[in-house]
Amino acid sequence: MKLQNRASLVALFLLCLSVPTIGCRDTRVRPDGKRVVKVAYLPITHALPVFAEKEELDASDSEIVIELIRYGSWPELMDALNTGRVDAASVLVELAMLARQNEIEISAVALGHKDGNILVTSPEIDSPAELKGGTFAIPHRQSTHRILLNEALKKGNLSIDDVNVVELAPPEMPSALASGQISGYCVAEPFGAKAFAIKKDNGESVGKTLFTSTELWPESICCVFVLNDRFINKRHEDAKQLVEAYFDAGEKLTTERAIELGEKYLNQDAEVLSRSLEWISFSDLKITPESYEALRKRVLENHLSKNPPEYEDFVKNSF
């Protein structure tokens, strides 16, 4: 009897390996039969189209649903994406490009947003030349925020060597500016806008906008929606539905709806969200060859990579 039980368990285990979609705790299929797509994100407004898409799919009769997985840092998120623990992610484009350059099989399918960044400094700084000798924070060396800083420094006849550049977690930047630890920062929203919500004793905000990204690099690319190629190849129809729903969600994302989603998923104040949405757009999120080539050129000029992937090798428009 014991041998029979053991044989039955072995048979069940083998069945789980060979037919994972009919049960056996497959985390990609819900009990109601809907197929799960695991999407990674950091708690920033640049991921708002992902939140909007999840809500749209949840409210529809779609056969796929999004399971949002929140990460606290870009390295953690990229590790999950690169190893296939998640199917998709909203991520810094330069990190995704570097992964692709290193032969990690991921592909960009859409923009995360258009524009949407600002350079925040202390109120005493009136020009980029005054950043010389100061400390400036960015979230990651491989980021559009570093490129935007370089563009600003050029306007003050400075180079990156004239500034002490540090990497800080986005939530730490507003308080670091308020305490005088840094002279300024550039980061994903809503953390730029949060500097205006922190007041000095005299009622003045601790931060000011030195430049918007539009002033430094019109239609700059910062975050992209990326899919793991294994997910694309094994679940092509699901990937197609996911991308179509993503574009649709971006087109429908009004300011009012964006604030609602920001309050729900980011736990941010409506006033801060409203200010941060003044310089960001979520419509027409296709990655064009022209905009990507402008990005690629800046990645090379700023020494973020020696061999960033070509458009055809990284961007998938086949959906």
Domains and CATH numbers, the chain: 27-115+222-314 (3.40.190.10), 118-216 (3.40.190.10)
Which of 152, 184, 188, 183 lies closest to 170 in space, CA to CA? 188
Taking 70 as the pLDDT cut, the residues of the chain under it are 1-27, 319
Torsion angles phi and psi, residue 265, rounded to 5: -95, -25
What per-residue confidence (pLDDT) applies to 86? 97
Q: What is the pLDDT of residue 108?
A: 98
Q: How far is CA 142 from the centre of its chain?
A: 13
Q: Give the model's pLDDT for residue 283.
A: 87
Task: Tell me how far apart the alpha carbons of residues 208 and 204 are, in angstroms, rounded to a whole number.
Answer: 10
132 backbone dihedrals φ, ψ, rounded to 5° = -55, 130
Give me the DSSP letters along 85-119. SSSEEEEEHHHHHHHHHTT--EEEEEES-EE--EE
Q: What is the pLDDT of residue 27?
A: 58
Residue 145 contacts residue 186 (beta carbons within 8 Å):
yes
Phi, psi of 124, deg, nearest 5:
-75, -15
Q: Which residues contact 239 (CB under 8 A, 6 or more apart)?
A: 227, 231, 232, 319
Q: Which pLDDT belongs to residue 297?
A: 96
Cα–Cα nearest to 170, from 45, 38, 302, 295 = 45
pTM: 0.87
Token duo for residue 129? 């030349």
pLDDT at 20: 42
